[in-house]
Amino acid sequence: MDYLLANIDFTDWWLRPFSERWWQETVCSMLVGITCGVLGCYVVLRQMALIGDALSHAVLPGVVIAFLVTHDTGVLGLLSGALLAGVLTAVLIAVISRLSRTKEDSSIGIVFTTLFAIGIILISTMPKGVHFDLNCFLFGTPLGVDSSDLLLMAIVCPTVLGTIVLLYHPLRASSFDPTVAAAMGIPVVLLHYLLMGMLSATVVAGLKTTGVILVVSLMITPASAAYLLTNRLGTMMLLAGIFGGFCAVAGMTLSFATNWPSGATMVVFAAAIFCVVLLVSPSQGLLTRYLQRRRMRRHIQEEDILKAIYRLVGKHEAPGQHLVSSEQIYPLARVSRRPAERIIHTLSKEGLLYQKAEHVGLTDQGIDRAIQMVRAHRLWESYLTEHAGVTAEEVHDQAEELEHVHDLADRIDRDLGHPETDPHGEVIPRPADEQAE
Amino acid sequence: MRSISFQLRAGTLTGIVGPNGAGKSTLLRSILGLIPIDTGEIDFFGENIHQMRSRIGYVPQKQSVDWDFPVTVLDVVSMGRMARYAGLRRLFGRPDAADREAAWHAIEKLGLTELADRHIRQLSGGQQQRAFLARALCQQADLYLLDEPLTGVDVATEQTIFALIEELNANGKTILLVSHDLSILDRLDQVMLLDRRIVAMGPPKQTATEENLRKTYGGRLSLLDEAEAELMRMK
C-alpha cells in the first residue's frame, strides 16, 4: 500500500495541468489537432487514409537526412526533409501504379515501407555520438518538445489551415469530380501534390506530440466522425477541426495528470468521439437507425392489430358493443402473442381500444384510425394499379406495406380524382367530415 | 484510335454513335485534353484548345463521382462557374453575385429549384443527371460535350434534356453528344459513326445506312486488329 501511494504523487496532480508547460504544449497540440482534423477531411473524402499512413512513415528518411546534414532538429531542416520525402512518396506511388499493373494500395505499401527501411538503415550508419531517437519519431515524446518544435507547429499549422481556406473551392471541386475539374482547367495534379505536401508538413509538426504511428488517427478519426454528422463540406471541416482540437487538449491534459503518453491519450479521445457519433449521429448513427426501424416496426404492428380488430368486429356494430377474443387477433394481424399483448396494452392506454377480460374492442377513436388505414390501403391499391402497372392480384401485398404511409393518402385521393372503389371493387371509405358533406 | 478528323459547325447537334469500346468517351476526353493525343491537333475557333477550356462544357458519364461527397445540388452547380475563372482566380477565386445568379438560373432551367439544398445522394438518377447538366450550363460555354446523358434517366429528364439541347442550339451553341443508343438519330443534325475510327459522318438520313451501321457495329477490321495487337506486344 505504501509502495502504491509513494508512486502516485497526490500533492500536485491537479495543478500540473495548468502549469506554464501545460499551456505551451496544449496550445500547440491544439493547433496540430485542429489542422489534422481539417486537413483530414480531404484525406477521408479522397479516400487517402492509406496514403496518409504511408506519408507519415515515409518522412523518416527525409527527417534523418535533414538531421544528418544540419546535425540538429532545426525547424527548417526537418520541414524541408519531410516535404521532400512526402512529395517523393506521392510521386513514386503515382508513377508505379500508373505505369504498371500494380494496384494503388500495393504501390503505397511498397513505397512507404521501402523509404522507412532506408530511414532505419541511415540511422544505424550514423557516426557515434550522434543520437537520433527512433522511438521519439515513432511514438512521440511530449516531454521532449522544445521551443523549436513549438515554433515548427506555430509555423506549419496556420499555413496549412490558411491554404485550405484559400483554396477551398478548387480543392472541393477537384476532390468531388477530378475529371470535370481537370477539364475546367483546375490544376488537379498540382492540388494533389499540394495536399501531400501539407500532409507531410503536418505530420512533422505533430511528430513530437503523437509520433508518426498515431498521427494518422488524428487525421482520419475526427474527420470521419464529422463526415457522419453533416452533408456540407464546410460544416464537416469545422466539426473535424473542433473534434481534433478537443482531442488534443483533452488528451494533453489527461496525460499531464496521469503521465500517460499524450499521443495515445489523444487517439483514445478521438476514437471515443467517433464511437459516440457512430452510434447516435442523427442521420447515420447505428443506434439511431436501429431505433427508427424499431419504432417503424412497432407502428406497423400497432396499425395491423387495429385493422385486425376492425375487420373482426365488422363495421356495422356500434362502437363499444362488440368484443373480440385476443386469440383471434394475433394470426390475422400477423403479430406473435407477446409483442401483441404489449401493443394492445399501449393502445388501450392511448384510448384506441378497451379491454374486458380476454376480449378487446375498439373505441370511437380506434375505429377512426382503422378506417383511415383501410382508406389508405385501398387508395394505394388504386394508385399502384393505375400508375405503377401492378396487377390486381399482386397489389394487395404491396399496399399492405404502403398503407402505413397514410399521410400521403389525401394526395393520392386528389391525384386519382377521388375514386369510389378500389381495384377489387371495395368502397374506399372517406373521413367522417367529408362524408357529412 | 486512329485517323479521327472532323469539324463541327457552330449551332449544331452532333451525335457520336458506336458500340461499347469504340472510343466515344475517349474521343471526348482527348478533345478536352484529359488524355494526351499522339499526333494531330484540335482547334477551337482557330485557337488552341487549352486556352479555350472555359468555353467547353463537359458532362461526363453519371457514375463517375462519389455520391456520398458532402455537397448539395447548389454546390455542384456552382462548381461549373469555376471554369470561367482565369489565371490565379482559378485557385483563389470565390463565387461572386454574377456566379450565384448564373447557378440559380441553371438550377431553375433544369427544374431543380426545390432540390437546390438537398444532398446529391438524395436525388433520383434523372435529377442527378440534371444537376450535372446544370453545372455545365451555368458555365455558359459555346461547345458542350455530353457523354451518355440519356443513360438511366426517366422520361421527364429525357424531355428536359432534349428541350435544353434545342434551346442551346437555337442560341448558337454547339453540342457533341455521345450515345450507344440509335433511337436519338432523327433528332441529330449530324451523326458520327465511330468504331475506333470514323466509319461515316454526315446527316443522319444519308449516313446511318444499313451498310454503315453494319460496319460500325458488326465486328472490327481484323487485319488492323492483329497489327495493333502485334504493336502492343512489341512495346
B82 vs A173, A230, A233: nearest CB: A173
Instruction: Write down the pTM of the prediction.
Output: 0.81
Number of domain units in chain B: 1
Overall fold of domain A367-436: Arc Repressor Mutant, subunit A (1.10.10)
Closest-approach residue (CA) in chain B for A166: B92
> Which residue has better confidence, A282 or B181?
A282
Do A180 and B135 make contact, defined as CB atoms within 8 angstroms?
A: yes
Confirm whether B38 is domain-assigned: yes
Give the residue from chain B lying closest to A180, CA to CA: B58
CATH of residue B26: 3.40.50.300
Tell me the chain A residues in contact with residue B92 when contact means C-beta distances shorter than 8 Å: 166-167
Q: Residues A99, A105, A106, A112: what is their CA dihedral angle, to the nearest 10 degrees?
A: 100
Residue A279, judged by CB atoms within 10 A of its CB (0-12, 13-18, 19+), counts as: middle
pLDDT band for A3, please (50, 70, 90 cuts): very low
Residues of A in contact with B93 (CB under 8 A): 169
Instruction: Say what the pLDDT of residue A302 is.
Output: 83
Q: Which ranges in chain A are annotated with CATH 1.10.10.10?
A: 288-362, 367-436
pLDDT at B88 over 90: no
Mean per-residue pLDDT, A152-172 = 92
Which of B53, B72, B75 is closest, CB to CB, to A183? B53
Q: H or E stretch including A231?
A: none
Evaluate if residue A255 carries a pLDDT over 80. Answer: yes
Q: Is B100 on the interface with A (CB under 8 A)?
A: no
CA-CA-CA-CA torsion for B183, B111, B77, B35, nearest 10 degrees? 0
Tell me, which fold does domain A288-362 have in CATH?
Arc Repressor Mutant, subunit A (1.10.10)
Residue A41 has pLDDT above 90, yes or no: yes
Q: Is residue B7 part of a domain?
A: no
Amino acid occupying residue A416: L
pLDDT one-digit tens code per residue, A301-358: 888 888 888 877 765 455 555 667 777 777 777 778 788 888 888 888 888 887 776 7
The verdict on a CB contact (< 8 Å) between A180 and B54 is no
Within 8 A by CB and 6+ apart from A21, the residues are none
Find the CB nearest A184 among B65, B69, B83.
B83
B77 in contact with A, Cβ within 8 Å: no
**E strand spans, chain B:** 13-17, 43-44, 47-48, 56-59, 143-147, 174-179, 190-194, 198-202
Residues of chain A with C-beta less than 8 angstroms from the C-beta of B69: 45, 175-176, 233
Q: List every span in chain A annotated with CATH 1.10.3470.10.
A: 19-284
In the stretch 11-30 of chain B, residues with CB closer than 8 A to chain A read 29
B85 pLDDT above the threshold of 80: yes
b/e A93-130 (16+ beta carbons within 10 angstroms → b): bbebbeeeeeeeeebbbbbbeebbebbeebbeeeeeee
- Residue B4 domain-assigned (yes or no): no
User: Other C-beta atoms within 10 Å of B131: how many?
Assistant: 26
Beta-bridge partner residues of A76: none
User: Has residue B182 been placed in a domain?
Assistant: yes
Looking at chain A, the whole-number percentage of residues with pLDDT higher than 70 is: 89
User: What span, in angstroms and rounded, lies between the C-alpha atoms of A215 and A91?
Assistant: 22
**ipTM of this complex:** 0.86
Where does the pLDDT of residue A399 fall: very low under 50, low under 70, confident under 90, or very high at 90 and above? confident
Choice between A291 and A377, residue whose per-residue pLDDT is larger: A291
Structural domain contains residue B6: no
Mutate to test the interface with B, among A184, A188, A224, A233 (most CBs of B within 10 A): A184
The CATH architecture of the domain made up of A19-284 is Orthogonal Bundle (1.10)
Please indicate if any CB of chain A lies within 8 Å of the CB of B83.
yes
Q: Average pLDDT of A237-247? A: 96
CB proximity A284 to B under 8 Å = no
Subunit contact A166:B92, Cβ cutoff 8 A: yes
Domain extent at residue B17: 13-234
d(CA A58, CA A200): 9
The winner for highest mean pLDDT among A94-103, A163-172, A352-361 is: A163-172
pLDDT over 50 at A360, yes or no:
yes
Beta bridge partners of A360: A324, A355
Q: How many cross-chain Cβ pairs, A to B, lie less than 8 Å apart?
A: 83
Per-residue pLDDT, A409:
75
Q: What integer pLDDT is reported at residue A330 of this predicted model?
A: 78
HSE-up of residue B131 (Cα within 13 Å, Cβ side):
28
